[in-house]
């Protein structure tokens, strides 16, 4: 009877060590996100006639920004978020929006990328753009295309050069 107890205790210690080891590996494995593409300089035509206003809405190329994302753990998910920072100034009447225009490329057959295919207003705080889920393999996507839209351009906004920086993050769900 005592021998069975000792064997079970050793199994418990081994199981605890394995759980600790898996937890440590999970902490070391990180989701990664790399941002590529080019800066977008919106070309806004001059107004030449009194009483006219700007077109108001401008779109970038469908692949203006290219994201590469990795989810390193099986049965895991990642949330890709975005926010903007005035760089150095931004007029709050200008509305910047972003959307995902494709899935990019992946070798993972049972991974999914969802959401973000409709324009979402980018704010000063993170908004979720899309999600990646890894089911039976590690998820890795390259060249996920992001398109931008600028609206709210009006003659009522003071003439100036406005710059903004988009910040993309990836986190666990």
Q: What residues does each domain of the chain span?
A: 1-29, 31-172
67-71, 137-141, 144-148, 163-167: least confidently modelled range: 137-141
Q: Which residues pair with 145 in a beta bridge?
A: 66
Which residue did the predictor score with more confidence, 17 or 130?
130
Nearest CA to 69 out of 114, 136, 127 is that of 114
Question: 21 falls in which pLDDT band (50, 70, 90)?
Answer: very low
Q: How many CB atoms lie within 10 A of CB 125?
A: 8
Q: Which residues pair with 40 in a beta bridge?
A: none
The pair phi, psi for residue 135, each rounded to 5°, is -105, -60
Kindly tell me if the per-residue pLDDT of 58 is higher than 70: yes
The pair phi, psi for residue 75, each rounded to 5°, is 55, 45
Check: pTM over 0.85? Answer yes or no: no
Task: For 140-165, give one letter per residue: b (16+ CB within 10 A) or e.
Answer: bbeebbbbbbbbebeeeeeeeebebe
The predicted model gives 23-31 an average pLDDT of: 49
Which residue did the predictor score with more confidence, 11 or 60?
60
Q: Which residues pair with 96 in a beta bridge?
A: 150
Quote the CA–CA distance of 125 and 155 in Å, as a whole number: 27
Quote the CA–CA distance of 9 and 21 in Å, as a whole number: 18
pLDDT the model gives residue 74: 66
Quote the CA–CA distance of 36 and 65 in Å, as a whole number: 6
């Amino acid at each position: 009877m005592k021998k069975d107890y000792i064997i079970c205790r050793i199994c418990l210690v081994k199981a605890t060590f394995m759980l600790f080891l898996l937890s440590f590996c999970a902490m070391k494995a990180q989701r990664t996100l790399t941002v590529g593409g080019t800066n977008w300089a919106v070309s806004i035509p001059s107004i030449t006639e009194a009483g006219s206003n700007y077109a108001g809405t401008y779109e970038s190329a469908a692949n203006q920004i290219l994201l590469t994302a990795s989810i390193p753990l099986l049965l895991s998910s990642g949330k890709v978020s975005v926010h903007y920072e005035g760089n150095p100034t931004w007029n709050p009447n200008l509305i910047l929006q972003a959307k995902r225009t494709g899935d990019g490329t992946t070798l993972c057959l049972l991974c999914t990328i969802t959401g973000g295919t409709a324009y979402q207003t980018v704010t000063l705080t993170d908004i979720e753009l899309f999600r990646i889920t890894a089911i039976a393999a590690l998820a890795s996507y390259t060249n996920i295309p992001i398109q931008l839209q600028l609206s709210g351009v009006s003659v009522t906004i003071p003439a100036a050069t406005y710059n903004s920086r988009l910040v993309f993050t990836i986190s666990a769900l």
